[in-house]
Amino acid sequence: MQAADILLWKRGRVSFVTIIVATVAWLVFERSGLSFLSICADVLLILVVLLFLRANYADFRNKQLQTLPELVVSEEMVHNVAASFRVKINNVLLMAHDITLGKDFRLFFKVVVCLWLLSVIGSFFSFFTLAYIGSILSITLPALYSKYEETVDRCFGNIHRQFSKHYKIVDDGVFNRLPRNVPKDKDS
């Protein structure tokens, strides 16, 4: 409930501080020139050192630390994750196979558009800028949506209907005229 209160701006000061911290972190990361991997490694290094020093300080003061839960990954969990991951990878490989053989133009077109958009977005923004934009949007959009829910639903419903109408026109006029399968060459 605390996270929901922050996202919906029911705790305004905490929400404001969250935006300020995200902005300062973004400025530091952008100006540092460090890569994402090196920053993650540095943060983990600091965390490990602080936890080690805290444990030794508590031992020195004869204070007992809270017991930590034992972190164990069960074999069943690993098998479930691996099976789920295997299914997803096989689906991606099947789609790549169909695209490579030219069997599904619609899928090819969707993949090309998505990869092009990712390329354009990636060329304009760094990882830290995208993370900053994502964090600001994640803390402002839920509050705006809860305040203007009916208006937003009505507007996006209209947009969705218009987009569906235009997509159907393009689908009927262009995509349905394209051959779905490439004819196979027969050996003479």
Residue 75 lies in a domain: no
Residue 170 lies in a domain: yes
Residue 158 lies in a domain: yes
- Residue 128: count other Cβ atoms within 10 Å of its Cβ: 19
Question: What pLDDT was estimated at residue 90?
Answer: 93
Residue 26 lies in a domain: no
Let me know how many helices (H) and strands (E) the chain has, helices first.
Answer: 7, 0
Spatial separation of the C-alpha atoms in residues 138 and 8, rounded to whole Å: 10
pTM score: 0.42
Residue 174 lies in a domain: yes
61-80 pLDDT tens trace: 888 877 777 878 889 999 99
Question: What pLDDT was estimated at residue 45?
Answer: 92
Two structure tokens written together for 92: 């991606």
Residue 46 near residue 160, CB atoms below 8 Å? no
Question: What pLDDT was estimated at residue 179?
Answer: 61
In the structure, what pLDDT confidence band is assigned to residue 187 with cuts at 50, 70 and 90?
A: low
In the structure, what pLDDT confidence band is assigned to residue 19 with cuts at 50, 70 and 90?
A: confident
Residue 101 near residue 182, CB atoms below 8 Å? yes
Two structure tokens written together for 141: 């959009």
- Whether 97 has a pLDDT exceeding 80, the answer reads yes
In the structure, what pLDDT confidence band is assigned to residue 157 with cuts at 50, 70 and 90?
A: very high
In the structure, what pLDDT confidence band is assigned to residue 84 with cuts at 50, 70 and 90?
A: very high
Q: Give the domain extent around 174.
A: 150-181
Residue 146 near residue 8, CB atoms below 8 Å? yes
Residue 173 lies in a domain: yes
| Best CA proximity match to 170, nearest among 101, 113, 116, 118 | 113
Spatial separation of the C-alpha atoms in residues 81 and 78, rounded to whole Å: 5
> Measuring CA to CA, how many Å separate 79 from each of 71, 72, 89, 92?
17, 14, 15, 20
Residue with token string 């159907």: 168
User: Which one has a higher pLDDT value, 27 or 36?
Assistant: 27
Residue 187 lies in a domain: no
Residue 160 lies in a domain: yes
The count of domains in the chain is 1
Spatial separation of the C-alpha atoms in residues 114 and 121, rounded to whole Å: 11
| Best CA proximity match to 4, nearest among 173, 109, 133, 145 | 145
- Whether 29 has a pLDDT exceeding 50, the answer reads yes
Residues above pLDDT 90, as percent of the chain: 19
- Residue 26: count other Cβ atoms within 10 Å of its Cβ: 18
Question: What pLDDT was estimated at residue 40?
Answer: 80
